[in-house]
Amino acid sequence: MCGVLGILGNYPLTMARGLLLLLAHRGQDASGLLWVVGNEATSSKSIGNPDRIFVPEIASSQILGSTRYPTTGKRVASEEDLDTFVGPFNVGDLSLTHNGNITNMHSISNLKFDCDTEFIAVKLTQNLTENNGNLPSAFSALQSEVDGAFSLVGVYRGKLFAYRDSHGFKPLVFGRSKQKTIVASESTVLDMAGVPLERDVYPGELLIFGDGGTMESYSISQSLTHSHCFFEYVYFAHPAATLENQLVYDVRFRLGRVLAQTFLKMNLERPDYVVPVPDTSRPAAQAMAETLSVPMREIILKNRYLGRTFIVRSQEERDAMARSKYLYLDDKIRGKIILVVDDSIVRGTTAKMIVADLKKRGAAKVYFAVTCPPQTHPCYYGIDISTDTELIASTTEIEAIAEYIEADALIYQEEHTLSNAIGLKDLCLACLNGEYPTEHARRIREELQEQGASSIERDYERDFSK
C-alpha cells in the first residue's frame, strides 16, 4: 500500500505537499515529490511523512507525489535508501510513481531491481523507445508482461497520465477543473484541492491528460472480472474517501451493523460499552452500538504522534511499540463488560494486548469483534501480510484464537456479509479464501505449498524463475 498523486496545471509545491499529507495514512515510511520545470525533473524525498519534504517556494505545472509503505525492499533508513526505494522516479522524459506490488518482477527481467516502481519506470521507458514514444502501445506491452497490482501516475513530455492494472486492485481516481487535473489514490485529495471528483480510473484504462483539461482514454486491457482490494474499505483508505462510488465511512458503518447481528446470534451477555480500537474501527463501533442499543465509549485512546507500527520486524519491537500506542480511561473499565471492535487481527499482537490491558484494569469480560473475516492467506499484491507465518488465522481455528488473545468471545465478520457491506461484486478476497486473481500469484502459492511454505521470508521477493 502506498499513496500516489499527480497534478497537471500550475500549482505551488508547498500546497502539493499539503495534498500529499492527505495520503500519509497510506504510507509513513517515506515520501517524495517530483516536479518538472522546463524539461527538467527535480525531486525531494524524506523519511517519514510528507511534511518533512523540503520544497522551494515555487509552482510547477507537472507534479508527482508519493507516500511509501514498504511491501518490497526494506524500510528507508538513509539518504541512499530514499533514492533507491522511494518514488517518484525519473528516467529520461518519463517520471512516475505507483501503488501496488508486481509479483513477477524477477522472473521477467534479467536486471536486478531494488524496487518495483523503478522496475516499471525502466520497463516503460524501454517500451516507449520500442514504440516511438506511444504511451498506449507501451502500456499494452507492459500489461501483457507484468503480473500483479499497479495503480500508477506519471508525466511524459508535458502530459500527465494515469493507469490502473486490468484487475483494478488498488484505487485511483481523478478530477478536472478549469485550471488543473488531479489524479490520486483517494478522492479526499481532490476535495482539498477544490477539484470535483470525476470518477475512478477504470481497470485496464490509460488516461492521458493535456493542458486545458483535455483527456484521452485508452482501453489497454480488459479483464472479465475486476478485483478491487476489499482491505482498502476495511482498513487502508481514509473514511472520507469515495472509492468505486462507495464512501468508505458508509462501508465501515455497514460492516459494524452486520457484525452486530452476528453478535446477537451468539447469545452473549449484554455489554456495558462498545469500544472502538482507534481509529479505523470507529464507524463500525458506532454502528454496533446503535444496533445493540449499547453506549459507545472511547476508553481506548491512541497516542496520535506514533506512526503506524505494523512494519517493525521483530516481535519484541512490535510488542514494545504496541504497548506505547494506546492509553486507557481506567475508571470506565472496572467491573464492566466491554465489546471491543477492531478492523482486523493479523498476528494477534494488538488484540491480545488490548484484552490483557482491559482485564488488568478490572474489566469483568472482554468480547473482541473484528470487522474483517479471518485472514488465512498471504497477500502478494501489496498488503504487508505476505507470509503464512504472520497470519494467526492461517493455522489457528477461531476458538483457539479467542483462547490465545484471552477474549471471552471472538466475533468475526463473515465473507458474504463483508462483500454485501462493501456493495461491490468484483472484490479481491484472496487473503480470505486463497483465490488469487492473477496467474503468477497462483504459481507463487503452488510452489510455496510444494516447498512446505512456512518461511518468514517475504514470499514475493523470492525469485521463482530459478
- Please list the active-site residues: 2
Asked whether position 385 contacts ligand AMP by CB under 6 A, the answer is: yes
Asked whether position 383 contacts ligand AMP by CB under 6 A, the answer is: yes
Asked whether position 355 contacts ligand AMP by CB under 6 A, the answer is: no
Crossing angle between the packed helical segments 349-360 and 398-405, to the nearest 10 degrees: 50
Residue span binding ligand AMP (CB under 6 A) among the ranges 178-186, 244-252, 342-350, 456-464 = 342-350
Inter-residue contact 299 to 275 (CB < 8 Å):
yes
Subset of residues 26 to 55 that bind ligand AMP, contact rule: CB under 6 A: none
β-partners of residue 184 are 5, 173
Subset of residues 222 to 251 that bind ligand AMP, contact rule: CB under 6 A: 235
Q: What distance in Å separates the CA atoms of residue 154 and residue 160, rounded to the nearest whole number? A: 6
Q: Convert 181-204 to b/e letters by CB count within 10 Å (16 or more is b).
A: bbbbbbbbbbbbbebebbebbbbb
Residue span binding ligand AMP (CB under 6 A) among the ranges 34-42, 124-132, 346-354, 421-429 = 346-354
Asked whether position 166 contacts ligand AMP by CB under 6 A, the answer is: no
Inter-residue contact 30 to 178 (CB < 8 Å):
no
Residue 53 grid coordinates:
519534504
What's the min distance (Å) between Cβ of 384 and ligand AMP?
Answer: 5
Position 249: which residue type? Y
Q: What distance in Å separates the CA atoms of residue 66 and residue 95, rounded to the nearest whole number? A: 12
Q: Which is nearer to ligand AMP, 58 or 306 (CB)?
A: 306
Asked whether position 348 contacts ligand AMP by CB under 6 A, the answer is: yes
Q: Which is nearer to ligand AMP, 205 or 357 (CB)?
A: 357
Among 62, 349, 386, 394, binds ligand AMP (CB under 6 A): 349
Beta strand pairing call for 337-342 and 365-370: parallel
Asked whether position 160 contacts ligand AMP by CB under 6 A, the answer is: no
Asked whether position 310 contacts ligand AMP by CB under 6 A, the answer is: yes
Asked whether position 255 contacts ligand AMP by CB under 6 A, the answer is: no
Among 86, 345, 401, 418, binds ligand AMP (CB under 6 A): 345
Asked whether position 18 contacts ligand AMP by CB under 6 A, the answer is: no
Closest by CA position to 164, among listed 150, 181, 182: 150
Residue span binding ligand AMP (CB under 6 A) among the ranges 28-36, 187-195, 338-346, 420-428 = 338-346
Q: Convert 328-365 to b/e letters by CB count within 10 Å (16 or more is b).
A: beeebbeebbbbbbbbbbbbbbbbbbbbebbbebebbb
Number of residues that bind ligand AMP (CB under 6 A): 18
Q: What are phi and psi of 79, to 5 degrees?
A: -55, -40
Q: Which is nearer to ligand AMP, 294 or 346 (CB)?
A: 346
Among 347, 443, 458, 462, binds ligand AMP (CB under 6 A): 347
Q: What distance in Å separates the CA atoms of residue 396 and residue 400, rounded to the nearest whole number? A: 6
Q: Which is nearer to ligand AMP, 34 or 76 (CB)?
A: 76
Asked whether position 404 contacts ligand AMP by CB under 6 A, the answer is: no
DSSP string for residues in 290-326 = HHHT--B---EEE-TTS---TT-SSHHHHHHHHHTTE
Asked whether position 189 contacts ligand AMP by CB under 6 A, the answer is: no
Which residues are at the interface with ligand AMP (CB under 6 A)? 235, 277, 280, 308, 310, 342-351, 383-385
